[in-house]
Structure formats: C-alpha cells, structure tokens
Structure 1
Amino acid sequence: MESDSSERVEIPPNFEAAPVDHLVQLIADMLERLISHNDRIPLSPESLTRFHSRSAPTISVLDYLKRIVRFTNVEKSCLLITLFNIDQICARLPLFTLSSLTCHRFVITSITVSSKGLCDTFCPNNLYARVGGISVTELNVLEREFLSMIDWRLMCTREILQEYYVNLVRTHSTGKFYIAGGESPSQSSDSEIDLDSGGSSPTDTPTPAQPSAVLLEPGTTAQEVIQRPTIEQNMAFAALQLQQLQESQELAQLRRDRS
C-alpha cells in the first residue's frame, strides 16, 4: 500500500543535519529488511560466528538502536558506518549474514568500535555492554573479532556515508521520508518493488543479502550511483538466479535418470 503523500516527512539533504531519530528509523528499516531476508537462509555450522546468539533477542532493532542512542549519545556517522562495516565484512567473509541471531551483537560492537576509533569522546566498555545487554567480557571478545573481520579498516569517508544516507531514504520500505530539494512527496519510491519478484517461490532459499552497496569507485558519477540497483532489486535477482540454478540441476538429474 502506498503511503499518503501528506504523511511523508522531509529531511535535510545532508546526514549531519538529519534528526537522529529519523536516521535511526532509516537504518532500522534497512536492517530489519536484511534480517527478514537472511533469516530464511538455513544456518550451517561453518557460518557460525561469535556474533550468533542462541535465540533472537526480544527487543526490535529499532528499539535497540533507540536505546543505544539514548544512553550513549552516539554520533550519526557511527550509526551510518555500521552499514559500511556490514558491506566490508560481507565482501570479505561471504558466509557471514546479518540475521536476527547476529544483528544486535553486531550493531553494539560496530558502534563501540567506531565511537572509540573515530570520536573524540566515547563511553567506557562497561556502559556499551550494559546498554547492549551483554557482559563486558563478551563485548571485549566481540571487539577483537570485529576488528579482525574488518581487517582493522575503521575509516570511511564522509562522501560514502552520505551515499548510504541517500540510499536509505530512497529505498525506505514505506517511502515515508524524502530529501529536501530532491524528489517531491508525490513521487513513488523504489521501495515498492517486491522482494520476491522475478518469479521466485516463497520456498526458495535466498542468497545472503547486504545493504545496497553505494561505495564509490574512482571515476563514478552521481548519475551512475542513482542508476545502481536497490536492495530489493538485488534480492529479487539473487532469488531468480537461485531458482534458475535449481531448475537446471533438476533438469540435469532428470536427464541422468532417463539415460
């Protein structure tokens, strides 16, 4: 169902000026869509990490992020860089997926590491641990694991974070937000694309999904960034590829059985 244009919210063009509660809603929306997609992937022993919990936390991603913001006063750049860190790790370690079992531990660890690495002021680990609902010992272990997974690459340019911000607004699941001076409230959102479009069956096993990559390679133009596929399009294409692969394997098996 499309959102009523009168209910849409205008936000600033630059992420630094965006209200933190709006930024939290945008990031939570992206993470929750990733979780919904990746939770359909069967968990294999080789994909287990220290970030996996035995059961999914009862607190939602949105409320978890609100809790972190409330008690740690985290900077907006550290919130956004969480998505960049997911992209880094998924590129280096394809078996890692952000799911309901890994998201909360990953988020508090990413914010802890980025705050300590990039900000002039930050909280002690015992506060981050208490806010995150884990022990200090566990957070210390997760920090070391996290730094190894990102190869100690803590830095990210402001331009990359801005592209993540724009992409979050453009692909928000409800189309609630729009950037001042950009699209008009009456324009439709790319987020209306069905995650399972492309003829895939709901029973198909999806491939791991990442936040829509907007990392800029040298020479990339703004127009090329705008034309890049959204997270929904990438998911749908991956599901279609998997379906075609399964059909090809079934056909090959049928031919072998007949021969």
Structure 2
Amino acid sequence: MDEPERVRLPEGFEDVDVDILVQLVADMLVRLITHNDRVPLSPEAVTRFHSRSAPGISVLDYLRRIVQFTRAERVCLLITLHYIDQICTRIPTFTLSSLTCHRFVITSIAVSSKALCDAFSTNNLYARVGGIPVGELNMLEREFLRMIDWSLTCTREVLQEYYASLVRTHSAVPSSRPSSPSPAPGPTQASTILVETTTVSPEPPQPPTVEQNMAYHEFQQQGRGGRS
C-alpha cells in the first residue's frame, strides 16, 4: 500500500493554503473532542454552547463550510485555538466536546472576524452558515465575550506558535492514528490545547482600529435591541 503523499508546508501561517490549515485545525479539535467526550458531564459544566446532541456534520466539513461561505481568514481559524486555551484557563469547567465544538467555532469565527479583519460578515450570515438562529448566535456572542473577558486579540508570534504546534503534531504521527501532542490526561480530566504563550515574545498593544470600533458599536446596538 502506497504511503500518503506528504505536503511541504510553509513556515509562516500566512502562506499556508487555507484548506490545509482547516484540516490541521479540525484534526486538533477532533482529538480534543475524542478525549473530552470521555469526561462525565456535570450539571455545573453545562453552558449555552452545549447542544442537546452532537451535530450530524463533521468538524472538518463544518469548518470548510464556514470558510467557503464567509471567507474566514487564517487568523480567525488559528485564534480559535487560542480562545479555547484562554477560556478553559479562566473557566476550568468548560470543555470542548462534541456537544460544544460546533457552536463554539461559529461564534469564535464570528467574533474574531469583527475584532481582527477589515471585512466581515453579518451575524445573519454566520447564523445561516452555522445552522443556528441569529438570535441564538447573538446570545452566544455575548456569552463568548463574557467568558473571554473581551480579550480578543493576540500577537502574530502567538498565532505562529499555534500553527507550528499544529504542524509538529500532525507530522509527528500517522494520519490514520492521531495522538495528542503531549501526554494525555486521565479520562476524568478535560484536555485543552495548552500552548504556552507566556514564553512568546510580546508585542506592544496596538490601539483599536476603525473597524474594531465599528464592530464594538454594532455589538452595543445589538444589546439595545438592534438587529445584526
């Protein structure tokens, strides 16, 4: 049997093919889900992101659908991993599982696109693509911002570290038998990405852009009953 063809990936995440990045991110999320689904769900751990049952679409196909219809940028895909780490650090009871992943991902990309990108879609489009009502996405967005404490940005170096971690993890194991990038915690302990961003050289904070100020104003209007 022939071995699968290996793709040589660029060093910088800005140059990687978007679909390859989607595959890398989806692979990481699926491995997290596979582990975390073994963790018993306690009542206090239930969040607005929990679905009654796991969606019928795979994580990979879901991410591809989002990218296809919203033109989500690479930074939005990568920073989703950073958001997972930050939220799980702030709220240890939260876990990314088959019941939370899809709703978390569409909310993360909707929020990050407004914070980081010059052009972004409306919540109406994100909701249609994500398969949830727009009113529900609006509530998920507010809950997401509360959980992340409005800390929506990070440096390019942090994103590059996540990309490098994805590449190392993916290339270090056969594609048919993925394993965790680090020793797996016990079956009763939830797992996160856990890239140590404190060792990454920080950049000085940048003032908000016009687009970010407009997005914040739009969010405030939604909270007052306006439509997204």
Taking structure 2 as the reference length, what is the TM-score of the superposition?
0.81
Q: Which entry has the higher C-alpha Rg, 1 or 2? A: 1
Work out the CA distance in 2 between the residues paired with 1:198 and 1:32: 16
Aligned ranges for residues 8-27 of structure 1 at < 5 Å?
A: 8-27=6-25
Q: Structure 1 residues 106, 193: closer, same or farther in 2, change over 3 A?
A: closer
Instruction: Tell me if structure 2 keeps the 8 A contact 1:28–1:61.
Output: yes
Q: Aligned-pair distance for 1:213?
A: 1.2
Aligned residue number for residue 149 of structure 1: 147
Which of 169, 191, 199 pairs up with 1:209?
Answer: 191
Percentage of identical aligned residues: 64
Which of 90, 93, 96 pairs up with 1:95?
Answer: 93
Q: Which residue type is aligned with residue 113 of structure 2?
A: S
Q: Aligned-pair distance for 1:113?
A: 0.3
Work out the CA distance in 1 between the residues paired with 2:147 and 2:12: 29
Q: Which residue type is aligned with residue 217 of structure 1?
A: T
> For structure 1, which runs of at least 5 residues remain unmatched after alignment?
176-188, 221-259
The CA RMSD measured in Å over matched residues stands at: 2.3
Instruction: Tell me if structure 1 keeps the 8 A contact 2:40–2:188.
Output: no
Q: Aligned-pair distance for 1:198?
A: 8.0
Work out the CA distance in 1 between the residues paired with 2:139 and 2:184: 43
Q: Aligned-pair distance for 1:217?
A: 2.8
Q: Deviations over 1:38-88 (max 9, x none)?
A: 000001000000000000001000000000000000110011000000000
Instruction: Tell me if structure 1 keeps the 8 A contact 2:66–2:129.
Output: yes
Q: Which residue type is aligned with residue 206 of structure 1?
A: T
SS at match of 2:67: helix
Which of 167, 171, 175 pairs up with 1:169?
Answer: 167
Q: Aligned-pair distance for 1:205?
A: 2.8
Aligned residue number for residue 75 of structure 1: 73
Work out the CA distance in 2 between the residues paired with 1:159 and 1:133: 33
Work out the CA distance in 2 between the residues paired with 1:218 and 1:81: 15
Work out the CA distance in 2 between the residues paired with 1:82 and 1:60: 17
Q: Aligned-pair distance for 1:219?
A: 6.8
Q: How many residues align?
A: 198
Aligned residue number for residue 34 of structure 1: 32
Q: Deviations over 1:161-212 (max 9, x none)?
A: 000000001001xx3xxxxxxxxxxxxx2677865x9899xxx633100014
List, as ranges, runs of 4+ consecutive aligned residues in structure 1 with deviation greater than 3 Å: 190-195, 197-200
Q: Which residue type is aligned with residue 191 of structure 2?
A: A
Aligned residue number for residue 244 of structure 1: none
Instruction: Tell me if structure 2 keeps the 8 A contact 1:88–1:150.
Output: yes
Instruction: Tell me if structure 2 keeps the 8 A contact 1:164–1:214.
Output: no
Work out the CA distance in 1 between the residues paired with 2:37 and 2:143: 22
Work out the CA distance in 1 between the residues paired with 2:149 and 2:29: 22
